[in-house]
Amino acid sequence: MAQAQVHIVESFAVPPEVLFDRLVDHEGMSDWLGVRVSILAGPLDGGVGTIRRVHARGLVLDEEVTYLDRPRRMTYRIIRGLPLLAFHRGELLVEPWGKTGSQLTYDILMDSPVPGVARVMAGALAPQLRAGLSRLRGQLSERAA
């Protein structure tokens, strides 16, 4: 198996609670990530057991929230839609940054039995996530102003 990782660290000029709420607003992700996200099943609060469907550039995949510790950490995994991946786990960690800001550490680990697939997917995903987080930063700044 060949593993690959996406590791992104970004800072935001909003409190951790504000950032975390936007990150775990599953359907609201559509506004900043640039893909369509909908909830398929799970608790009303979007917590553990929530299954969201992501439509991205011809792909449709389902992700399940596996851990949620508001306003600090969420983990999820792909459960359907990417047959070439044997494993995919995403983790969002939000921590205080400076006096009033937050820092997001976004890690994704993936593995594929097909050599090179995980690395190609990580390489395609990282710039899309960075662009989405940049849009989110802009949206949060507009709301704060």
DSSP H or E run through 139: helix 117-144
CATH number, domain with residue 139: 3.30.530.20
| pLDDT tens-digit series, residues 45-96 | 889 999 999 998 888 999 999 999 999 999 999 999 988 889 999 999 999 9
Whether 123 maps to a domain, the answer reads: yes
Note the pTM of the prediction, 2 decimals. Answer: 0.93
| pLDDT tens-digit series, residues 98-130 | 999 999 999 999 999 999 999 999 999 999 999
Number of domains the chain contains: 1
Nearest to 25, CA basis, from 139, 119, 120: 139
Q: What is d(CA 51, CA 64) in angstroms, rounded to the nearest whole number?
A: 4
Angle made by CA atoms 20, 76, 141, in degrees to the nearest 5? 25
Domain span at residue 18 reads: 2-25+66-144
Q: What is d(CA 50, CA 59) in angstroms, rounded to the nearest whole number?
A: 20
Q: Three-state SS for 16?
A: helix
Nearest to 89, CA basis, from 71, 58, 61, 110: 110
For residue 5, the 8-state DSSP code is E
Whether 75 maps to a domain, the answer reads: yes
Q: Report whether pLDDT(134) > 80.
A: yes
Q: What is d(CA 108, CA 115) in angstroms, rounded to the nearest whole number?
A: 18
Whether 97 maps to a domain, the answer reads: yes
Whether 79 maps to a domain, the answer reads: yes
Whether 136 maps to a domain, the answer reads: yes
